[in-house]
A = this chain, B = another copy of it.
Amino acid sequence: MDKRGGKGRQKIEMNLIESKEARTVAFSKRKNGLGKKAKEYSNLTGEDVGFILFTQDGKPHSYGSPSIEKVIDKFHELKQNDSLQNHTDMRKTNVFEAFEDLRKEVQAFKEKALDSEMPTDKHMLENR
């Protein structure tokens, strides 16, 4: 419970963040925020949603319910024939929640196995 000083959220212009460091932090925060909002959209409305974004290093990231490819296909399909009768399919995946559950599970297994072996295994997974 340390009381580290913080000036609280400040208002900023919606333009490119000049500072490379601040921009990196923004990439992380904003990407997570977008993912959460997208997940909330599908949870609350029961409809599909998906998004794609690129980060500093030019890497693609995506989120989709039920999957980004399914969303893209459905998009093109409906866009092409707008009068198409839509079928109800709805199968939410809640990727982030399930993902986090699995991550914790793996973590638990690894910690348990640490006292017997040193796996040296490292995962570069940034989502939470």
Contact = CB atoms under 8 A, between A and B. Distances in A.
B54 A26 contact: no
A92 B44 CA distance: 29
A56 interface: yes
Q: How many copies does the complex hold?
A: 2
Contact of A52 (B51, B90, B127): B51
A90 B51 contact: no
Interface string A112-128: 01000001001111011
Contact of A94 (B27, B40, B44, B60): B60
Interface residues of A, number: 73
A45 interface: yes
A47 B56 contact: yes
Contact of A102 (B51, B68, B102): B102
A49 B52 contact: yes
Interface in A52-94: 52-56, 58-64, 67-68, 71-72, 74-75, 78-79, 82, 86, 89-94
Interface of A: 14-17, 23, 26-27, 30-31, 33-34, 36-41, 43-56, 58-64, 67-68, 71-72, 74-75, 78-79, 82, 86, 89-99, 101-103, 105-106, 109, 113, 119, 122-125, 127-128
